[in-house]
Amino acid sequence: MCTMLAAVLHDFDDLRLERVPVPQPESYGDVLVRIKSCGICATDHKAIKGIRRNVTFPTIVGHEPSGIVTTVGPGVSHVRIGDEVIVQPLGHCGFCRHCRAGNTHYCENAFVTGGDGPEDVRSGAFAEYLLTKETSLFHKPPDISFDAAAITEPLAGAWKGVIHHSRMQLADDVVIIGAGSMGLLCLMVAKAAGAAHLIAIDPSDYARRRAHDLGATHTIDPNEEEPKERVCEIIPDGPDLILEAAGPIEAVRLMTALRRRGTRWNVFGITTHERFELDGGETHFLEGRMDASFGTTTLAMLQSVRLMETGLVDTERIISHRFPLSQIHDAIETMSSAERTKIVVNP
């Protein structure tokens, strides 16, 4: 029996490097991918550390991979052995009402490899090989590295939130709360889309420096300045678009405080079940537009590949650390570092 090295999560904070059987593409549309790179998402870290509890053990997490097709199952016609590919973790049926409407991330028959959301959770990409469906694969442009390509899915999430849902327009004044990896990807998308003022708010010196390097026109330390006052100094009329990409409920409250008439605002980063209040009358008369965005669609993935292929967004620029799979424990611990953005694992 052929085996592979994989990081198997047996319980919270019990991640073990083991030899496990290599999965075989036996069902219609199955494809086996040799993983070259896989980004670590905060949701992966939360699952391993027990912060996210909707996990069934044992499991292999990791849902931001790129790699090379090694074996194909029956019925596969759009990829061949040797093709360099990007894997969308979410698989969809293509036939339910949500898929037919283009909302493939709502699919009633969805599965996910190495992530969460659907009930059908399959082994992920903190391993040497990944079994997925042909419909979840996108060809990797030859000029993009495997490491950069591994960030296609989070970039797709940023594009979906900034452009597709919140309808950012040329010369919009944009505020992004939180300059971690997702906030920086949102920032780069907004920069590419022609933001006028592009303000990043984050308490971390490191994060603010990275935001400045990637195109922020202004950065704000909320521990040193009153963020609403500072935003009003920079944009007296207030922002056109605010994206909360931080996670804590305080970031959502700050976002609501920064609204002016007509502001579009996106609850992008928070995933915990916490409450915030809105003044009904104020919200009515401000006539803003609230959006949220989770997951990706096939359209978002295509647009993400296009952004990288044309050089509008260089995802390589947010990679701060790289680790071989054999050092997965060091990679996971580095997720807690104040000076890191995107971490990539190379099986």
Domain membership of residue 161 (yes or no) is no
Beta strands in 59-197 (DSSP E): 64-72, 84-87, 90-91, 111-113, 120-122, 129-133, 137-139, 174-177
> Residue 165, SS3?
helix
Residue pair 256/265 in contact (Cβ under 8 Å)? The answer is yes
User: End of a domain among 250, 266, 292?
Assistant: 292
Give yes or no: residues 284 and 325 share one domain. Answer: no
For 94, 164, 316, 321, the CA distances from 313, given in Å and listed in that order, are 29, 17, 9, 19
Torsion angle, CA of 6/12/13/18, rounded to 10 degrees?
A: -20
| Structure confidence at residue 180 (pLDDT) | 96
Asked, for residue 301, whether it belongs to a domain, the answer is yes
269 and 304 assigned to the same domain: no
Question: Rounded to an integer, what is the distance from CA 185 to the centroid of its chain?
Answer: 9
DSSP class of residue 127 equals B
Q: 51, 164 in Cβ contact below 8 A?
A: no
Determine the structural domain holding residue 252 and report its residue range.
167-292
Could you give the count of Cα atoms lying within 13 Å of 244 in the half-sphere of its Cβ? 26
Which residue type, as a one-letter code, is found at position 299?
A: L
Q: Which amino acid, residue 271?
A: T
CA–CA gap between residue 45 and residue 47 (Å, rounded): 5
Confirm if 139 and 85 have CB atoms less than 8 A apart.
Answer: yes
pLDDT score, position 344: 98
Pairing of strands 137-139, 84-87: antiparallel
321, part of any domain: yes
Structure-derived torsion over alpha carbons of residues 148, 152, 154, 159, reported in degrees to the nearest 10: 120
Q: Any idea what the CATH number is for the domain that residue 226 is in? A: 3.40.50.720
> Do residue 227 and residue 312 come from a single domain?
no
Residues 58 and 19 grouped into a single domain: yes
Count of domains observed in the chain: 2
Stretch (H or E) spanning 285: helix 280-286
Among 274, 169, 175, smallest CA distance to 228 is for 175
Asked if 219 and 199 touch (Cβ cutoff 8 Å), the reply is yes
Map tokens 């939180």 to a residue.
Answer: 178
Indicate the SS3 state at residue 145: coil
Chain position carrying tokens 């979840």: 136
Residues 141 and 214 in one domain: no
Averaged pLDDT, groups of 10, the chain, 347 residues long: 95 98 97 98 94 93 98 97 98 95 95 94 98 98 98 98 97 98 98 98 98 98 97 97 96 96 95 90 94 94 98 98 98 96 97
H-run or E-run covering 346: strand 342-346
Other C-beta atoms closer than 10 Å to the C-beta of 285 total 10
Q: Specify whether 190 is located in the same domain as 262.
A: yes
Q: Are residues 212 and 142 located together in one domain of the fold? A: no
Shared domain for 10 and 150, answered yes or no, is: yes
